[in-house]
Amino acid sequence: DTGVSQDPRHKITKRGQNVTFRCDPISEHNRLYWYRQTLGQGPEFLTYFQNEAQLEKSRLLSDRFSAERPKGSFSTLEIQRTEQGDSAMYLCASSSGRTGETQYFGPGTRLLVL
């Protein structure tokens, strides 16, 4: 199966620590998206890349959040100085970028900040 993969699947950290999540998109998909999902809510868009260019980052929740996609393949999402309110599922999706294309989601990384 060559779907979207995310690592780790689960992360427990203490408040104030930095965490980094990785997303590997479907091969040859040039668009990559990050979403956050809190309990009982639908996924909330954070940012997206077309190849290595980050085209939208105004929805990142604060300056503690940053994302990279240095070679246009995998991406990382970093949260610095984590807070308990950062506890959520972080989802990655990819698409081929053509008009009308579909986003395919990974299994998510569940973060718990103690």
Partner 1 sequence: DAKTTQPTSMDCAEGRAANLPCNHSTISGNEYVYWYRQIHSQGPQYIIHGLKNNETNEMASLIITEDRKSSTLILPHATLRDTAVYYCIVARYGGSQGNLIFGKGTKLSVKP
Decide if residue 25 touches partner 1 (CB under 8 A).
no
Q: Which residues pair with 47 in a beta bridge?
A: 34
- The smaller minimum CB distance to partner 1, of residues 2 and 99, is found at 99
Distance CA(43)–CA(93), nearest Å, equals 11
- Using CB under 8 A, which of 22, 26, 45, 66 touches partner 1? 45
Decide if residue 112 touches partner 1 (CB under 8 A).
no
CA-nearest of 17, 91, 15 to 48 is 91
Distance CA(74)–CA(34), nearest Å, equals 12
- Using CB under 8 A, which of 21, 24, 75, 108 touches partner 1? 108
Decide if residue 67 touches partner 1 (CB under 8 A).
no
Q: Are the C-beta atoms of 33 and 92 separated by less than 8 Å?
A: yes
Interface with partner 1 (CB under 8 A): 4, 31, 33, 35, 40-45, 48, 50, 55-56, 59, 91, 93, 95, 97-108, 110
